[in-house]
Structure 1
Amino acid sequence: MADMRNGTSWLLLIASAWLACAPAAAQGAAASYEDEHVALHLDAASPAEDGRGRAALTIDLAPGWKTYWIDPGDSGVPPTLDVPPSGAVALSRIRFPAPHRSDDGYGQSNGYTGTVGIALDYTTRPNTPDAVLAIDVTLGVCREICIPVSASLAARLGDGNVSRIAAAFDGLPQTSTADAGILGAQLAADAQSVDITTALPNGDGEPDLFVAATGGWYFGAPRSVARAGGGRLVFTVPVLQAPRKADPDKLALDVVLTRGDAAWEARELAATPKAD
C-alpha cells in the first residue's frame, strides 16, 4: 500500500485498511453500482468468432472526488479488477487512460477525476452467446480522505453500451514510436532511479511522465528533465521502493508520457542497467 511506502497520513492508512477488508458493495449480477461518491458501469460487446471481444469499466466520479492510477504515487489506493476463477469469460488485458498528477496535501498522487474509462479485452469460448463477464472491482475514491468502494459487477456479452466501450478505447494513450513517445529506459547502478528517454513532436504544454511496475516496485514523480540530442527528453524518476530480493534484469516498466491532452505509452519496457 502506498501509505506504508512513504509514511503518508494516518487517514489514508485507515482508509487503506478498510479497503483491504471491505465487503462487496454490490450483490448478484448487476452491471452497475452507484453511491453518492461514484457510479460504476460494466459493458461488454459481443465477441468475435474466435471468442475475443472488448469491454469497458466506466467510473463516474462525483464533483471533487478522485480515484487512482495503477501506481497511485505518494498517497492513494491502486485499483484492483479481478475475475472470479469460476467465470466463463477471462480478461486478457486491462488498460488505463493516462493519469494526471495532483497534490492532495499528503503528497503527489496519480489519478483521475470526472469520468474514467478502463478498456478491457476479454476471451471466451466460441459460440457462447449467453456468457457473462464478471468482475470484482475495488477502488479508493477520495476527497479529503479515501472511501473504500468494492463492487461485484457482471455484464452479459453483447448487451453493453457501445458508446462507453468506444470511449474507453479511444481514451487510451497512443503507442510509442521512434518519433513520439517513450524510447527506452536505464536503471541506475544503485537501483535508486531510472532514466526514461522520450521523443515529443512539436506542441504546447509541459510534459509529464508516469512509471509503474509489478512485483513491489514503486516510483515517484520525475525529479529532473534533461534535453538530449535530436530533441529528446530524458526524465530521471526516483525509485521509491524496490522488492527486497529485486532482480533488476527482470524489471519491466509501464510508462506513460503526457503533454496537454496527448499521451503515449510503452508497456513492459525493459530497463537496461546502467554501467557504474
Structure 2
Amino acid sequence: MNRVFSLLAMAPFVLSAVAHAQEAATEAATSPWSTSEHSKLRLIAGPTTPTGKQRVGVEIVMSPGFKTYWRSPGEFGVPPSFDWSGSINIGGLDVRWPVPERFQDSAGYSVGYVGEVVIPISVQPVDPSRPVMVVLKLDYAVCEKICIPAKGEASLWLEPGVTTVTSPRLESFEARVPVPVKPGTHKEKTSIIEAKLDDTVVDPGLRLVLQPPPDGKVQDIFAEGPGMWSFGKSRLAPQPDGTVVAQIRINERPKSAAGPVPLIFTIRGMPKPVETRLELDIPASRP
C-alpha cells in the first residue's frame, strides 16, 4: 500500500520532468555568448528545411545606443567578416541579411542595425545524414559616437533532420530578409518599373521609379554595385500616380566601369522588404 501511495505521490513530479524534457527537445540549440566590448554574439539554430539545409542565426546584441553594419555599410563603416573555416560537414553557406536601416554617423550616414540583429544563415551539409559542426569567427564593428572593433567566436553542433525545434528569435529576423523581386510590376510587392542613369542633374546618379502595392510604403532604398561602387543617400519623391521616384547619387565608381553593370537594390518598406537585381547600361565616365 505504501509503495502504491509513493508512486502516486511521485506522479506529478514525473509528469513535470517529462514535460520539461519534451519542451527542451523542442527548443532551439544555442552556443554560449561570446562577449566583446559593448556587444556579444552567439549562434542559434532553427529546424532543418525540407531540402535538408540547416538553419542557423548569428545573433548580435549591443549596448544601448550602439549599432553595427550591414554587408554594404554606406559612406562609413566596416561590414562584418565571417570565417567559417573551422566548420565540419559544410558544403555551402548562404548569409541572408535582414533589411537594414540608415543612421547618421559623426561624418555622414551609414547602413546597419541598431541595438540587436540576428543574421540568418542557410547551411548545406556535405552529407545530410551526418551531424554538422558550425564554427564561426566574426570580425565586426560596433559604434556609438566612434567605432570600435569587435571579435566573436562561437560553435554549434547540429544533428541531421531535426525539424521539431522552434526558434522564434531566428524566425522573426528571417521574416525581415528581403524577398527577391524581378524588375517590372508586381501586385503585392514593391517593384522597380524603371531604372536608368540620370546625367541631367548636377550630381549624376541613378533614377528609379518604384511602384508600391496598394497601402504599401517605400521607406528607403539601398544601392550596391560590384567593386568600388559607392552610392549616396536616396531621395524619395512620391508621385500623384502612386509611384515613387528615387534619386541616388553615385559617390564613387570604378574608372573602367562601362556597359552592363550588375546592381542590387534593397527596398525597405511595407508590406515587406524586397531585393531586385538588374543590369544598367552605364556609359564610360568622362575624363
Give the aligned partner of residue 110 of structure 2: 109
Could you tell me whether the CA contact under 8 Å between 1:70 and 1:212 is conserved in 2?
A: no
Alignment of 1:150-165 (within 5 A): 150-158=151-159, 162-165=167-170
When structure 1 is superposed on structure 2, of 89-98 and 235-244 the one drifting more is: 89-98
Alignment of 1:231-270 (within 5 A): 231-249=242-260, 251-259=261-269, 262-270=271-279
When structure 1 is superposed on structure 2, of 65-74 and 195-204 the one drifting more is: 195-204
Could you tell me whether the CA contact under 8 Å between 1:71 and 1:218 is conserved in 2?
A: no
Structure 1 vs Structure 2 CA RMSD: 3.2
List alignment gaps of at least 5 residues for structure 2. 1-30
Which amino acid in structure 2 is aligned with residue 107 of structure 1? G
Aligned-residue offset at 1:132: 0.8
Separation of aligned partners in 2, 1:192 and 1:216: 17
Matched residue SS, 1:201: coil
Aligned-residue offset at 1:135: 2.5
Residues 267 and 205 of structure 1, relative CA distance in 2, 3 Å threshold: closer
Separation of aligned partners in 2, 1:79 and 1:90: 21
Q: Percent identity?
A: 25
Task: State the structure with more CA Rg.
Answer: 2
Separation of aligned partners in 2, 1:200 and 1:136: 39
When structure 1 is superposed on structure 2, of 135-144 and 31-40 the one drifting more is: 31-40
List alignment gaps of at least 5 residues for structure 1. 1-29
Could you tell me whether the CA contact under 8 Å between 2:47 and 2:166 is conserved in 1?
A: no
Alignment of 1:29-178 (within 5 A): 32-45=33-46, 47=48, 50-84=51-85, 87-158=88-159, 162-176=167-181, 178=186
Residue deviations 1:200-245, cap 9 Å, x none? 23448772211123322121101x4345684221211111121233
Aligned-residue offset at 1:141: 0.4
Equivalent residues, number? 244
Aligned-residue offset at 1:87: 4.3
Aligned-residue offset at 1:63: 0.4
Which amino acid in structure 2 is aligned with residue 109 of structure 1? S
Could you tell me whether the CA contact under 8 Å between 2:196 and 2:206 is conserved in 1?
A: yes
Separation of aligned partners in 1, 2:241 and 2:69: 34
- Equivalent residue for 1:194, pick from 190, 206, 220: 206
Higher relative contact order (CA 8 A, sep 6+): 1
- Equivalent residue for 2:191, pick from 173, 182, 193: 182
Instruction: Give the TM-score of the pair, scaled to structure 1.
Output: 0.74
Which amino acid in structure 2 is aligned with residue 163 of structure 1? P
Residue deviations 1:21-68, cap 9 Å, x none? xxxxxxxxx653123411212123454575422211111111010111
Which amino acid in structure 2 is aligned with residue 153 of structure 1? A
Which amino acid in structure 2 is aligned with residue 254 of structure 1? I
Give the aligned partner of residue 7 of structure 1: none
Separation of aligned partners in 2, 1:170 and 1:221: 25
Matched residue SS, 2:273: strand
Could you tell me whether the CA contact under 8 Å between 1:101 and 1:108 is conserved in 2?
A: yes
- Equivalent residue for 1:220, pick from 219, 232, 241: 232
Matched residue SS, 2:168: helix
Give the aligned partner of residue 18 of structure 2: none
Aligned-residue offset at 1:151: 2.2
